[in-house]
Amino acid sequence: MPSAPAPPRQFDLRTASAGAGADLAERKRAGLSDDHVLPAGRSHEGVPPCWHGRSVSAQRAVSGPRHPDWRLHRVSEHWGRMRSMQSDLLAQAEQNRVAALSGLDPKSQDLLGQFFTPARAAALIASMPRLPEGGAIRVLDPGAGSGMLSAALVARILDNQPHLTVHVVAVECGSPVVPQLLDTLEACKAAGDGRVTFEVVEDDFITTSTGMTTDRRVTGFDLVIQNPPYAKLAASSAARAAVRQSGADAPNLYAAFLALGAAALKPGGQLVAITPRSFCNGPYFSAFRAYLLDQIALDRLHVFESRSTVFADTGVLQENVIFSGTRGGDRTQVLLSTSNGHEDDISRRAVPYTDVVRPDDRHRFVRIATKDEDTEVAERILTLPETLGSLGISVSTGRVVDFRSRECLHSVAETGALPLLYPGNVRDGFIEWPWAIRKPQWFLPVTDKDQKLLLPEGWYCAVKRFSSKEERRRIVAAVWSPERTPGPIAFENHMNVFHVRGEGLGRNTAYGLSMWLNSSLVDKFFRTFSGHTQVNATDLRMMRFPDSSTLWRLGSLAPERLPEQAEIDAMVDKVVNVASTAA
């Protein structure tokens, strides 16, 4: 049995995590690959209402024929050996979390995003906000679930701030978990011995925080701590309209919770949250980012390198970020940190605020360069002279949405049918067509409208919009050669295509772009602002590029087949360095 580390980490979830590992192993045995968690080609933005996109079938498979209380017994055995009062508090909260999870109906779990934070991750989240030495603070926990985040915060306060009292307001609309929530908060109160009070608002956080009926109990907080539910908010929904009326356009439920959480703060109050990293870039969250970053100044950002560990025992696969920010705070510096999972060592670095949210970036991407090397990479790329716009190159998503063009699609060659190119056609830096990918790869236009979906014969560079988890790089680029297959072509919508006013690029420019985009340099830069496997055309437009003669030269050196990564990087390095020295 490992001994307990020193406070504030007096707890150790290795036993509970072994349970998580067992879940994953069992999922594998049940034939559930990670693809069941996040189907290939779908971003989490588009998945049905579940926090982190876990499928109902996956949940059923993991629940298996075990004794219903198996985790409770294992967790309590472990926690039973812990000594301090705060550890007891977290042990109690962890028991309640596990009990709450095991009592959930899979449908409502998905619908309400009921994926609760494990104790160790909760402790990491609760370690983020600044706390005053003494006095009293009001804390909001919206979507409190079984109360794990409140418990972790109270445990930290009881451990480290002997002169501070705390009042917790926990908002939760999923009634089956309320008994566990009450039990956790009662345990907090008992552990606090007069320093902890709480109230539970059993209601919808969106309704209580917006419109005419704003509930006073959910305003004026020193701290909002949350793991918001992940679900879609239909553009036409009353909830989305209500959030919009309060000033924020939140495209999904987690963004709505963050916006309303920020609005519930007093000036100087802090928001701390664990969320998918997806809000940090991309056009989908643009308006929301603008709102959030006006409301709060970021203080700290923590990213997990592994997508699978934090919510492993709920089967969730998602790139997560924990962040904290202050309402009306100072925008000078941000502390960036990273760890593999929530149980691993953390490395930290402070960077200027303007490295994270660049003043010249109208899209307000949140850039997270967690290593010195990342900053060097960002500096190197951001000093390059060109954008796609200044190079006269455009990038667009492929025009063919296959289900909208069914009558044009053919699985075998037909007279007059043209190549339809999918991400599956991308092979080692080249677009191979036709290829055995079980897609209808011939496009035969029926109407004039269909003709407009074609691109004329030419050299093109294309990038997959979604990389698969097996791919080492996030940006996977390839070249289409008109020498191999003359004639017009159609790109399917899961591809981003580079072109010049709707026509092809020069041969060397197409190869040069492909080499550049496939380099480790670009991959590292991309990862500083994007946490997901989706590559938006906006992301590509935001990047900087070498000048046209450098791209041309790179293309002239490129072999037809994409070489090994080290060779690509050496070529890119050589050509780009030569160009910058000459400049």
Ligand X SMILES: C[S@@+](CC[C@H](N)C(=O)[O-])C[C@H]1O[C@@H](n2cnc3c(N)ncnc32)[C@H](O)[C@@H]1O
Q: Which residues bind ligand X (CB under 6 A)?
A: 51, 112-117, 143-145, 148-149, 171-174, 177, 204-206, 227, 229
Nearest approach in angstroms of CB 149 to ligand X is 5
| Residue nearer to ligand X on the CB measure, 149 or 393 | 149
Chain position carrying tokens 């906000």: 129
CB of 442 to ligand X, least distance (A): 45
> Which is nearer to ligand X, 230 or 422 (by Cβ)?
230
Residue (211 or 506) nearer to ligand X, CB: 211
In the complex, the smallest distance separating the C-beta of residue 103 from ligand X, rounded to whole angstroms, is 12
Query: Of 502, 466, 534, whose CA–CA distance to 394 is shortest?
Result: 502
Strand partners for 272: 225, 324
DSSP 186-252: HHHHHHHTTSEEEEEE-S-HHHHHSGGG--GGGS-EEEEEE-----B--TT-HHHHHHHHTT---SB
Residue 142 Cβ, how far from ligand X at the closest point, in Å? 6
Length of the chain: 583
* Between 177 and 182, CB nearer to ligand X: 177
* Residues 6 or more apart in contact with residue 354 via CB below 8 angstroms: none
> Nearest approach, Cβ of 93 to ligand X (angstroms)?
9
Residue 471's contacts (CB-CB under 8 Å, 6 or more residues apart) are none
325 DSSP 8-state letter = E
Distance CA 148, CA 125 (A): 11
Min CB(256)–ligand X separation in Å: 8
Least CB distance to ligand X at residue 472 (A): 31
Going from the C-alpha of 224 to that of each of 162, 274, 532, the distances in angstroms are 21, 12, 26
Sorted by sequence, the CB contacts under 8 Å of residue 460 that are 6+ apart come out as 431, 479, 480, 489, 491, 497, 498, 499, 504, 505, 510
Q: Is 444 exposed, middle or buried (0-12, 13-18, 19+ CB in 10 A)?
A: middle
Nearest to 565 by CA among 473, 464, 441: 473
- The residue (of 51 and 460) whose beta carbon lies closer to ligand X is 51
Structure tokens at 301: 């950002």
Q: How far apart are CA 1 and CA 30, in angstroms?
A: 30
Q: CA–CA distance from 176 to each of 38, 101, 204, 381 (Å)?
A: 27, 10, 14, 51
By beta-carbon proximity to ligand X, the closer residue of 148 and 575 is: 148
What the block records as the tokens of 256 is 């709505």
Shortest distance (Å) from residue 135 CB to ligand X: 25
Handedness of CA 133, 153, 531, 388 (dihedral sign): negative
Q: Which is nearer to ligand X, 185 or 455 (CB)?
A: 185
Report the residue number, 251 or 458, with the smaller CB distance to ligand X: 251
Whichever of 97 and 138 has its CB closer to ligand X, that residue is: 97
Least separation, in Å, of the C-beta of 84 and ligand X? 22
Q: Which is nearer to ligand X, 276 or 546 (CB)?
A: 276
Shortest Å distance, C-beta 151 to ligand X = 9
Q: How far is the CB of 126 from ligand X (least distance, A)?
A: 10
Beta bridge partners of 352: 333
CB of 140 to ligand X, least distance (A): 11
Q: Which lies closer to ligand X via its Cβ, residue 169 or residue 391?
A: 169
Backbone angles phi and psi of 562, in degrees to 5 = -65, 125
Residue with tokens 């592994």, as numbered in its chain = 306
Euclidean distance between CA atoms 490 and 148, whole angstroms: 51
In the complex with ligand X, which residue's Cβ is closer, 208 or 528? 208
Which stretch of DSSP H or E encloses residue 523? helix 520-529
How far is Cα of residue 285 from the mean position of the Cα atoms in its chain?
A: 12
Question: Minimum Å distance from CB 562 to ligand X?
Answer: 41
CA distance 340 to 346: 8
148 vs 463 by CB, closer to ligand X:
148
Which tokens in the block code for residue 476? 């996977």
